[in-house]
Amino acid sequence: MITTELLIHGEWVIPVEPDDRVLEHHAIAIDHGKITAILPSTEARERYQPQHEIHRPGHALIPGLINSHTHAAMSLMRGLADDLPLMSWLNDHIWPAEAEWVSPEFVRDGSDLAFAEMIRGGVTCFNDMYFFPMTVAEQAQKAGIRAVIGLIVIDFPTVWAKDSDEYLHKGLEVHDQLRHHPLITTAFAPHGPYTVSNPPLERIATLAEELDTQIHIHIHETAAEIAHGEKRYGNRPLARLESLGLISPRTIAVHMTHLNPEEIARFAELSGHVAHCPESNLKLASGFSPVVKLQAAGVNVALGSDGAASNNDLNLFGEMRSAALLAKGVSSDASAVSAYTALQMATICGARALAIEDQCGSLLPGKSADIVAVNLDTIETQPMYHPISQLVYACDRHQVMDVWVAGEQLLKQRHLTRMDESRILAQSRAWQQKLAANSYTQEP
């Protein structure tokens, strides 16, 4: 008998790689935070002597979901200003609220709220873009969640930095502090083409190459952004960013609506990645990302929620369903973005975009034990014909029962093991009272 730390049995194991196979009555063996084997439960009982053994009948074991675009701390602005177009939402509500309230304490408490929500929804890794990135990293470490921390850069002053030079200086300090962390990496996060000028973007392209990091940036989010780029710089944002050396396999381009065929083909040639945020795009009426055309061209398309201020949740199950349904509607093709493709977008495609596919994104021996147990033995997901289809089209995040990151259980039968839910709720209510009396919270 082989001694192992943990053996998890599921009704179904859905590895995601190498294909859409569903393994019935299988178990996952885990040692030192990594998957050592996936095998039939009967064989696992004969081969392994586990220190701990968990049985989840009626459950699917899937890779932890990867949220490829978040502004975690903005969870404290959930519902602050709804039903507005992007620039009005930003200029009249979000940016004034941030100017008044964003601080290390705001980011700490907002991040805690976001992490609790994401873990309860089966998200084991997120890619963030916000102020006070070291605070986000510290809270992520306490929560046990895997993270890519964005080193934000904007031209204009905020409470975090006064100009692009200071943003980069502080960001490099954060990168140095986190470069050996087992669960946390960093990415340069210039906000967008309309908020960052050419010199800092050129410097970021050079630094990303030198430090071997990804670049996380909003691109072609709205038609207004494109018009602004053409007027100010004489070309469309993607062309401008390419000329600055910013489009490459390191690029995580968020939103990517309003693309023409030439841009899709060129982006594919340059091997960039897309973080598709279907529900945020719909809510802000930003446009439709041509996901089917991007994927057909060979572009890796991952899924993100955006911030809870514009979504209004961090629910990757909802994003999977929306991504599949929206793609079918936009393309007039019922076979577009199948359930399996949507699951890939929320797992292995996210890992590829974040350059951590050797660690997570699928259930394979040697990878980190980032695992989610989803209860499919419910009224909402019966009868059971195709587990992957049920996960995407019928399941929701309240059916997530258990979550492990690197073999540590962060959610146990719907209870957070590292985070204090009552404290998080109290913090959130306190911030709501602070923000509620201001004009930027008022209905339009």
Calculate mean pLDDT across residues 163-177.
Answer: 98
| 3-class SS of residue 12 | strand
**Cα–Cα distance measured from residue 185 to residue 147, given in angstroms and rounded to the nearest whole number:** 6
Backbone angles phi and psi of 35, in degrees to 5? -75, 125
Task: Indicate the helix (H) or strand (E) that contains 329.
Answer: helix 316-331
Q: What is the pLDDT of residues 391-412, one digit of tens each?
A: 999 999 999 999 999 999 999 9
**132: pLDDT strictly greater than 80:** yes
pLDDT of 443 > 80? The answer is no
CATH 3.20.20.140 holds for 65-353: yes
Rounded to 10 degrees, what is the CA torsion of 401, 112, 127, 132? -170
Distances (CA, A) of 278 to 48, 225, 339: 43, 18, 15
Give the domain ranges of the chain.
Answer: 2-63+370-413, 65-353
Is pTM beyond 0.85? Reply is yes
* Mean pLDDT across the chain: 96
* Local structure of 79: helix, strand or coil: coil
- Does a cis peptide bond (omega within 30 degrees of 0) precede residue 249? no
Confidence at residue 436, expressed as pLDDT on a 0 to 100 scale: 87
SS3 217: strand
Res. 41 pLDDT band, cuts 50 70 90: very high
Q: Is the pLDDT of residue 336 over 80?
A: yes
Beta-carbon contacts of 276 under 8 Å, excluding residues fewer than 6 positions away, are 255, 256, 289, 291, 301, 302, 303, 304, 323, 345
CATH of region 2-63+370-413, choose from 1.20.1560.10, 2.30.110.20, 2.30.40.10, 3.30.420.40 = 2.30.40.10
What's the pLDDT tens digit per position in 216-248? 999 999 999 999 999 999 999 999 999 999 999
DSSP notation for 154-190: -SS--SS-SSHHHHHHHHHHHHHHHTT-SSEEEEEEE
**Which amino acid, residue 105?**
E
Phi, psi of 291 (to 5 degrees): -60, -45
- Report the alpha-carbon distance of residue 141 to residue 139 in Å, rounded: 5
Give the per-residue pLDDT at 327: 98
Judged against a pLDDT cut of 60, whether residue 442 lies above it is answered with no
Alpha carbons 213 and 188: distance in angstroms, whole number:
7
State the Cα–Cα distance between residues 345 and 275, nearest whole angstrom: 9
For residue 437, what pLDDT band results from cuts at 50, 70 and 90?
A: confident
The model's pLDDT over 340-358, given as tens digits with 9 standing for 90+, comes to 999 999 999 999 999 999 9
381 pLDDT exceeds 50? Answer: yes
pLDDT at residue number 444: 47
Q: Which tens digits make up the pLDDT trace of 19-39?
A: 999 999 999 999 999 999 999
Whether pLDDT at 148 is above 80: yes
Mean pLDDT of 167-193: 98
